Amino acid sequence: MIFLQLFWEFFKTGLFAVGGGLATLPFLYEMGERTGWFTAHQVADMLAVSESTPGPIGINMAVYTGYTSAGIPGSLCALVGIVTPSIIVIVIIAAFLRAFRDNKYVNGAFYGIRPASTGLIAAAGVTVAIGALLRTDAWQGWSRFWTVLDWRAILLAAVVYAVSRKWKKLHPAFLILIGAVAGALFRFAGA
Amino acid sequence: MKLYWELFSVFFRMGAVTFGGGYAMLPILQREVVDNRGWCTNEELADYYAIGQCTPGIIAVNTATFIGFKLKGLAGALLATYGVVAPSFIIIGIIAALLQNFADYAVVQNAFAGIRVVVAVLIFNAVVKLLKSSVVDKLTACVFLAVGLLAFFLDVSPVLFVLIAGALGVAAKVLWKGAGEK
């Protein structure tokens, strides 16, 4: 029964992949090997597609695999499979937090967790910035460190930053559109 | 009824413009959910992200579930969650059916390189906003710096950072300050 199997495989991935979209990758590789639904190469392709379309990789892979193995009903089964574990877990935690909102231990824990969470997001942001603003493959040593700087990308970042500070009401999606158009017009990937 | 529909449609729109994963969604959440609708505060958002990083599932999905549950219980959680994943369902469905090598097109690669630059700026802005609500004294400033640096240079699970920081918070707020203080 392909539908149940799709649901169950992606349910397990959703249950055990902790820490965001990329954490699903090892589970997807393993699933592909075991079931033969997709190859490692297709996972890499899907990673590229996920980076160029909205939506998390885990969700996209579930929809893609479900579709290629059993059409639209298949992709629905895989999608419901991958989101159900997190819905269950988060609803339980949310209910717990609602009950213990005024508890001093819970408050103390979050007092410490909040800056840690911001630190994790900042670290992820630095990784994204390095990938977007530098050409690390052009590195020629410290004496010529500027060769890694992608000046066009840095200029775009400066313009987008200035626009986002000047017009604070502007929707982020509009800025993303600016980035897409500028990237396509000026061939940012060199493709 | 109106709020149910709004939950679904707000998260649907968010899912449709979130390129680059859960972190890129943060600035849009801050605008749509915190500033425009007051569904939660920036502090709560930081809490949801922290929990999302140490529970199963995808952060964007977990945050949607949290906010939906906070507003309208289980039904709200389901609506917000399926709202945020619905655009992926539609877009990937179309790509799987029509475009075999979507990511190989030059225009797609170039446009995405431009989008990545914007996402880096958006995350920077989001972090600046979060700092105001999460770094409130010297201890929280140290936690932010330590976790930021360690997470960047070491390949350690975020769960570990969240657990240690939580224990540190409890120790600072409850144990060191004495039993009588809240």
Q: What is the pLDDT of residues A88-125, one digit of tens each?
A: 988 998 898 888 878 888 888 888 988 988 888 888 78
Tell which residue, B157, B161, B135, B159, has the closest CA to residue B147.
B161
Same domain for A57 and A92? yes
Same domain for A118 and A92? no
Report the residue from B15, B88, B173 with minimal CB separation from A108: B173
Q: Taking a C-beta distance cutoff of 8 angstroms, is the pair B41, B138 a contact? A: no
Per-domain residue ranges of chain B: 2-131, 135-182
Residue A13's pLDDT band, with cuts at 50, 70 and 90, is confident
pLDDT, tens digit only, all 182 positions of chain B: 889 999 999 999 888 877 656 677 788 888 889 999 999 998 888 888 888 877 776 778 888 999 999 999 999 999 999 999 998 888 888 877 776 666 678 888 888 888 889 888 988 888 888 898 889 999 999 999 999 999 889 877 777 888 899 999 999 988 876 544 44
Q: How much is the pLDDT for B179? A: 44
pLDDT (mean) for A64-84:
90
- Using the beta-carbon criterion (under 8 Å), do B88 and A129 form an inter-chain contact? no
Q: How much is the pLDDT for B180? A: 41
- Decide if A35 is inside a domain: yes
- Using the beta-carbon criterion (under 8 Å), do B110 and A89 form an inter-chain contact? no
Q: How much is the pLDDT for B66? A: 92
- Using the beta-carbon criterion (under 8 Å), do B85 and A55 form an inter-chain contact? yes
- Decide if A105 is inside a domain: no
Q: Taking a C-beta distance cutoff of 8 angstroms, is the pair A46, B103 a contact? A: no
Q: What percent of chain A has pLDDT over 90?
A: 21
Provide the token pair at B73: 């219980």
Q: How much is the pLDDT for B102? A: 67
Same domain for A94 and A126? no
Backbone angles phi, psi at A110, to 5 degrees: -75, -30
As for how many domains chain A has, the answer is 2
- Using the beta-carbon criterion (under 8 Å), do A117 and B119 form an inter-chain contact? no
pLDDT (mean) for A160-189:
88
Element of type H or E holding A177: helix A172-185
How far does Cα A135 stand from its chain's mean position? 21
Report the residue from B46, B114, B120 with minimal CB separation from A182: B114
Instruction: Tell whether B41 lies on the interface with A, counting CB pairs under 8 A.
Output: no
Residue A149 has what DSSP assignment? B
Same domain for A78 and A152? no
Same domain for A79 and A155? no
- Using the beta-carbon criterion (under 8 Å), do A55 and B92 form an inter-chain contact? yes
Same domain for A125 and A74? no
Same domain for A173 and A115? yes
Last-in-domain residue among A99, A124, A147: A99
| DSSP output for B36-62 | TT-SS-HHHHHHHHHHHHSSBS-HHHH
pLDDT (mean) for A171-178:
83
The mean of the pLDDT values for chain A is 84
* Ranges A128-132, A137-141, B30-34, B131-135: which has the least confidence: A137-141
d(CA A154, CA A129): 10
Tell which residue, A24, A103, A105, A19, has the closest CA to residue A61.
A24
Task: Quote the domain boundaries for residue A51.
Answer: 2-99
- Using the beta-carbon criterion (under 8 Å), do A45 and B103 form an inter-chain contact? yes
Q: How much is the pLDDT for B29? A: 87
The percent of chain A in helix, strand and coil, each rounded to the nearest 5, is 80, 0, 15
Q: How much is the pLDDT for A18? A: 62
If phi > 0 it is left, if psi is from -120 to 50 it is alpha, else beta; for residue A150 that is beta
Q: How much is the pLDDT for A153? A: 93
If phi > 0 it is left, if psi is from -120 to 50 it is alpha, else beta; for residue B20 that is left
**A&B contacts, CB < 8 Å:** 379
Last-in-domain residue among A99, A132, A155: A99
Provide the token pair at A37: 């639904």
- Report angle CA B125, A129, B166 to the nearest 5 degrees: 65
Interface probe, candidates B88, B95, B181, chain A, greatest A C-beta count within 10 A: B88
- Decide if A116 is inside a domain: yes
